Structure 1
Amino acid sequence: MKKLSLLLLLSVFVFCSCGDDDDAKNEVVVSFENMLTEPESEFKTTEGEEDGYYMKCYFKDPLQVIEMSHFYSLNGENTSFGGGFTYTNKTDKMTPGYENISAITAKGKNGKVYLTSNSNSYTPARITNLNPDKYEFKGAWVTNTTYAYLAIKDGNDDSGSVKGAFESGDWFKLTAVGYQANGAEIGRVDFYLADFRDGKSKIVNTWEWFDWSYIEDADHIEFEMSSTDNNDYGMATPSYFCLDGITLIED
């Protein structure tokens, strides 16, 4: 009986120890906070290769944990953001139009610098896990750009393509789609950046957590956007959003 009791006690100890190890998994939170030296600036480059209407390249975070797509147009020595991702510290919460890539929060979740994305079929936004054997995706903080927010709230868009302010039943959705390295889809998760269904009238204007645990094993994530505001050319709502604090956890 004493031997049996000792064996049971040892089993309980081993089980608890394993649980503690799982809880102690390390997280990596991606930050571009020290990558910009000037206020009201953004990441720009003249590297890359021609891809349709834009030049295309990729950039990595300072720890080289992830890689992100970046599209831009080139006019002489001047470049302008086209899509994919860029990082910025812009703070304009008032000006409508695509030239304003500021978050509606005017700052990041954890600092001044955050990511802005324009994701569509011409400029797909992709995040690749550079260490899939070591880390898996956990999630990120997300909010609206000023551009999308004002188009949804007031119908204020310099392109003139939006139908007007959102009404009952309207919505604007961001979808994170996880893929294996061979391109096979493993799953998708949705986040509503604006939701006027079922009596709601919410337009996201703070940083909110976007959980990617359902697609944690993805080699890369691509982002799709959809809305109830569409025309003959596709979605009329600006296909822009912001991310900060992209988090990966030990596999």
Structure 2
Amino acid sequence: MKLNFGFLIYGAAFLTAAMFTACSDDDDQVLPVYTITTVSFDKVPESMIAVDEYGSNYYSSYDGEQVKSGYMARIGETDTYVQFPVNYLWQEWVPGNPWMYEFYNGGFVVSDFTNMTGADYTNQCSVYNQSGGHNDANFIVANGYSVANGSSVSYDKCAKIYLTDKTGYQVVASDPDQPVSGEAHYGTFNSVWVCNTTYSYLAMKDGNGIAHALKDDNGWFKVVFVAMDKNCKPTGKTVSYYLANFDASKTKESGLDNEIRTGWNKVDLSGLGDNVCTVAIDFEGSDVGAYGINTPAYVALDDLEIKVNE
């Protein structure tokens, strides 16, 4: 969760369906009115964009003003907003275990970096695409993946997209150790454009001492979009999209034949259902070690299309 978000939309496409009345012998049927918005990030204030390829201003150690307010975008003229926060979690390795905003906890960073050669985590905010985002320079980078806890799975460290009221996700002023949320809203996530980050792409291609080169192990890697309810519990509906595949048995389902995906590609998210309030960005892959996935769990996103009823 994240404090005080104020998201901006650029190039937003607002489409409000007209209200039709279908007459029958018994009564009139009124179809719902809805709004469709495409959220991009090209007019985000400069102060909210990653200051370097590491995203230093998204950490508490930054020697300057840490990004805490973030972005919130209103869906047309409705009372629904979409939010892309950095996770606000308790710090298990910090004395006293305080709650803090840290990009290493998972979440989103707005970026415009296109370094296609930096192969380590200091280049985690670069997209593997010379021109930057899908239709403009800016995009968002999602980081984090789910962790198995016995028979259950925790999505706490996944990046999450929230639909909410204008209050958004905030921290109780009187008790900063306890994050709370605004009112959950619901909608349909229609589609999003996806691209590999440089950090992930080069790790999958060449390995990096922790991650293996996927071609050496007939490996694969994919992003998984997980639909969630207002309590951030999975609804059971997911959409998977392969970012790389070198496993012959997965060629058909992945659409990739011994290759890593390049460029921006549109992903259909309609399989998440019509009443979704949160989408977690998770990852799965073949290269797994004692602490989880070895492949860097990052993906760049842009031009997210959302529909909400009015």
Asked whether the two chains share a fold, i.e. TM above 0.5, the reply is yes
Answering whether residue 76 of structure 2 is matched by residue 34 of structure 1, we say no
Match of 1:116 in 2: 141
Match of 2:111 in 1: 88
| C-alpha displacement of 1:197 | 2.5
Give the % identical residues.
25
Match of 2:238 in 1: 188
Counterparts of 1:66-145 in structure 2 under 5 Å? 66-71=82-87, 81-82=103-104, 83-100=106-123, 101-106=125-130, 107-121=132-146, 123-130=157-164, 135-145=187-197
Q: Which has the higher strand share?
A: 1
Contact (CA 8 Å) 1:58, 1:67: kept in 2 or not?
Answer: no
- Alpha-carbon spacing, 1:133–1:237, altered in 2? closer, same or farther (3 Å): closer
* Range with greater deviation from structure 2 (131-140 or 241-250): 131-140
Q: Give the distance between the partners of 2:69 and 2:247, measured in 1 at CA.
A: 37
Answering whether residue 198 of structure 2 is matched by residue 146 of structure 1, we say yes
Q: What is the aligned counterpart of 1:59 among 47, 50, 70?
A: 70
Report the RMSD for the aligned CA atoms in angstroms. Answer: 3.4
Q: Give 3-state SS (helix, strand or coil) of 2:121's partner.
A: coil
Match of 2:298 in 1: 240
Q: Give 3-state SS (helix, strand or coil) of 1:214's partner.
A: helix
Contact (CA 8 Å) 1:40, 1:91: kept in 2 or not?
Answer: no
| C-alpha displacement of 1:60 | 3.0
Match of 1:9 in 2: none
Match of 2:78 in 1: none
Q: Give the distance between the partners of 1:58 and 1:191, measured in 2 at CA.
A: 30
Match of 1:214 in 2: 271
- Alpha-carbon spacing, 1:36–1:60, altered in 2? closer, same or farther (3 Å): closer
Letter in 2 for 1:111: D
Q: Give the distance between the partners of 2:297 and 2:143, measured in 1 at CA.
A: 6
Q: Deviations over 1:89-114 (max 9, x none)?
A: 11111111111110101400010000
Match of 1:52 in 2: none
Q: Give the distance between the partners of 1:191 and 1:212, measured in 2 at CA.
A: 10
Q: Give the distance between the partners of 1:205 and 1:125, measured in 2 at CA.
A: 22
Q: Give the distance between the partners of 1:201 and 1:242, measured in 2 at CA.
A: 21
Match of 1:166 in 2: 215
**TM-score, scaled relative to structure 2:** 0.61
**TM-score, scaled relative to structure 1:** 0.74
- Alpha-carbon spacing, 1:250–1:62, altered in 2? closer, same or farther (3 Å): closer
Which one has the largest radius of gyration? 1
Match of 2:286 in 1: 228
Letter in 1 for 2:86: H
- Alpha-carbon spacing, 1:232–1:35, altered in 2? closer, same or farther (3 Å): same
Q: Give the distance between the partners of 1:56 and 1:37, measured in 2 at CA.
A: 11
| C-alpha displacement of 1:25 | 5.5
Q: Give 3-state SS (helix, strand or coil) of 2:142's partner.
A: strand
Letter in 2 for 1:98: Y
- Alpha-carbon spacing, 1:134–1:225, altered in 2? closer, same or farther (3 Å): closer
* Range with greater deviation from structure 2 (168-177 or 117-126): 117-126
Q: Give 3-state SS (helix, strand or coil) of 2:267's partner.
A: strand
Q: Deviations over 1:198-230 (max 9, x none)?
A: 261121111111221111421101121111111
- Alpha-carbon spacing, 1:45–1:225, altered in 2? closer, same or farther (3 Å): closer
Contact (CA 8 Å) 2:194, 2:266: kept in 1 or not?
Answer: yes
